[in-house]
Amino acid sequence: MKPNKQNFITPPLKSKKKAWNKATGRNNKGRITAWHRGGGHCRLYRNIDLKRKSTQGIVVGLEYDPNRSAFLARIFNPDTKTHNYIIAPTKIQKGDIIRSNSKRNGLQNGHSKTLQNILTGSLIYNLSISPKKDGKFLRAPGAFGLILKRTKTLAKIRLKSGQYRWFNIKTIATNGIVSNTDSCFTKLQKAGQSRWLGRRPVVRGVAMNPIDHPHGGGEGKTSGGRSSVTPWGKPTKGPSTRTNRIQPKPNVKI
């Protein structure tokens, strides 16, 4: 979806923001388990309705979310006078009507329904793994799933990865495709942008000294001369799975 400035609202809702403590690649003991993470710009998390049970109303506009690449849609409910956020689908505009837990059959963009009320062959996103749970699948920009067939209790869905998986027919999903499909074409303008996103520099092992990495050292630009290993000497791609078995000689009588 190409961003339209008329549909965007710059200031987010203060009531729907909260502090978010980033783990920066550390576990509960404070030890780094995921490398090259840390720093980054300060962010506030937006409370998004991922269950899509009661969020319905009129689309007021779209917003940028610093915690995800997809856009957010702000929904105003005139009955309760409240605002809520949902993950915006493509081709959504101001003034559109959004309903939750709808029982109408059709291809209403942005409407959430159970899988038993969605037509076979429809594109869906924000799919929950089980009933009454938050949407966990198909939330990346441009992601969508395809409903292939249904039974009385299950529905077969093709995910973005190409995997075919069965889900409970009472799980909730949303019609449409996640917005900002062109996010994969964005390029960083400078190295500082990577640091703003919380990505720290990655140093190659062959550029280190031999005391720091098994690939380090050597005269000139040496590639290491061995398979890729971690700084502790373990294979980075796992142990070898190939077995070179010697073929037995055929028993041929001359």
Mean pLDDT of 240-251: 66
Beta carbons within 10 angstroms of residue 19's beta carbon: 8
Q: Please report the pLDDT score of residue 246 as a whole number.
A: 59
Average pLDDT of every residue of the chain: 89
The architecture (CATH level 2) of 5-181 comes to: Roll (2.30)
Whole-model pTM? 0.82
* 247 φ, ψ (degrees, to nearest 5): -70, 130
Higher pLDDT, 7 or 212: 212
pLDDT at residue 4 is higher than 90: no
Q: Please report the pLDDT score of residue 249 as a whole number.
A: 58
Q: Please report the pLDDT score of residue 103 as a whole number.
A: 79
User: Per residue in 28-60, pLDDT tens?
Assistant: 999 999 999 999 999 999 999 999 888 899 999
Least Cα distance to 177 among 145, 133, 135 occurs for 145
Beta carbons within 10 angstroms of residue 1's beta carbon: 21
Paired residues of 146 in beta bridges: 123, 158
Q: Please report the pLDDT score of residue 251 as a whole number.
A: 61
pLDDT at residue 73 is higher than 70: yes
> Residues with Cβ < 8 Å from 52, sequence gap 6 or more?
86, 100, 101, 112, 126, 135, 172, 174
pLDDT at residue 75 is higher than 70: yes
What tokens were used for 179?
């917005």
The residue whose two tokens read 């959004």 is 98
> Residues with Cβ < 8 Å from 130, sequence gap 6 or more?
168, 171
Mean pLDDT of 79-93: 92
Mean pLDDT of 88-115: 88
pLDDT at residue 10 is higher than 80: no
For the chain, what are the domain ranges? 5-181
The residue whose two tokens read 């249904």 is 150
Q: Please report the pLDDT score of residue 214 as a whole number.
A: 92
Rounded Cα distance between 71 and 59, Å, is 13
User: Per residue in 138-180, pLDDT tens?
Assistant: 999 999 999 999 999 999 999 999 999 999 999 999 999 999 9
247 pLDDT tier (thresholds 50, 70, 90) = low
